[in-house]
Amino acid sequence: MKYKLSVTKGFASAHCLREYKGKCENVHGHNWKIRAAFGGTQLDKTGMLIDFTDLKAHLDKIMTYLDHKFLNETAPFDKINPTAENIALYIFEELKKAETLTAKVAEVEVWESDTSSATITAE
């Protein structure tokens, strides 16, 4: 049996897409919604895959770093395009720091609007 648990947080920021031909090449903002999921096959002695409190704290740290920033001037997006896909990858990589022996990052979904999201998965 595989377990997966997730938390959802958000942040607000502005960005513009480099080398994009269209209105998104101009500076604009989003109220991003992030869903981060961890997965694993074993629970700890308390019956948890990973404590929601710990997962929220790690995600909060990342959200605080990105919140109310112009992403194009914020590492690593000062060098890579701040697309939803690249934001998902960045958050995924940062969350790897929260992995335990039994709980690994399974996926990160980044919503830039109510109808548009990008997801990166471990598989």
For the annotated catalytic residues, the residue numbers are: 24, 68, 112
On the question of a cis peptide bond just before residue 82, with omega within 30 degrees of 0, the verdict is no
Q: How many CA atoms lie within 13 A of 93 on its CB side?
A: 7
Q: Is 15 labelled as part of a ligand binding site?
A: yes
Residue with tokens 């998902």: 88
CA distances from 108 to 7, 23, 45, 47 (A): 10, 26, 26, 23
Q: Is 30 labelled as part of a ligand binding site?
A: yes
Question: Binding-site residues, please?
Answer: 15, 28, 30
Question: Binding-site residues for Zn(2+), please?
Answer: 15, 28, 30
